[in-house]
Chain A
Amino acid sequence: MTDKDVFICRCEEITLAEIEQAIDEGFVTVNDVKRRTRAGMGLCQGRTCGKQIARIIAQKTGIPLESLLPGTTRSPVRTEKMEIFKGEQDV
């Protein structure tokens, strides 16, 4: 295993090489890398890899970390079974 084969997104098993390739193709936000590679789309929703991806983008492109916002957050922010929403009146 080389350093480039290291997983960055543990859930979707996306490697550093895949993320760097996406950045080379011009995907230079956390959201764009997510859409291109699926990094951050797994069960944990980017909680583990998001910050690392921002750092990789910053290192490769020179974009300051400050302007690399975390990926978009959407409800529900916890994993829930669809069936609990059945017949829901309130939401």
Chain B
Amino acid sequence: MFRIKHHPILGDVDENKEDDVLIYVDGKEYNVRRGEMIAAALMANGIRVFRKTIKHNLPRGIFCGIGRCTDCVMTVNGIPNVRTCVTPVEDGMKIETQKGSGEWGGLGGKA
């Protein structure tokens, strides 16, 4: 796990998980913190590859972290090219590793 639970300046993270939300990443369930950015939730769970590129099918992940570079885009609830570093998770959110420029409705056209 990559969560920073203890920090000398920011203090300890409240371990209360009652407020967690459930998200689906490529069909797999994850409990993540309510309101955190999708990218942070994925990184916390050791997921590094967010998409594969159009031309060369190369992996990409977080790069700028503040919504500028668009490298971290994924298909979220059937909408392709969502910048995961600036989009918060929502309960029941369906997130897919994006292939190329993605497809509306997600893979297989299912919303």
How far is the CB of B70 from the nearest CB of chain A, in Å? 4
Determine if A70 is an interface residue (Cβ-Cβ < 8 Å). no
Q: Mark B60-85, 1 if CB is under 8 A from A, else 0.
A: 10011000111101000000010100
How far is the CB of A78 from the nearest CB of chain B, in Å? 9
Determine if A10 is an interface residue (Cβ-Cβ < 8 Å). yes
Known: A43-B81, A48-B64, A79-B81. A13 touches B70 (CB 8 A): no
Q: How large is the interface on A (under 10, 10 to 19, 20 to 34, 35 or more residues)?
A: 10 to 19
How far is the CB of B13 from the nearest CB of chain A, in Å? 32
Contacting pair A10 B63 (CB below 8 A): yes
Q: Using a Cβ–Cβ cut-off of 8 Å, how many residues does chain B contribute to the interface with A?
A: 15
Determine if A22 is an interface residue (Cβ-Cβ < 8 Å). no
Determine if B56 is an interface residue (Cβ-Cβ < 8 Å). yes
Determine if B54 is an interface residue (Cβ-Cβ < 8 Å). yes
Contacting pair B54 A13 (CB below 8 A): yes
6 interchain residue pairs of minimum CB distance: A43-B70, A44-B70, A13-B55, A48-B69, A44-B69, A47-B68
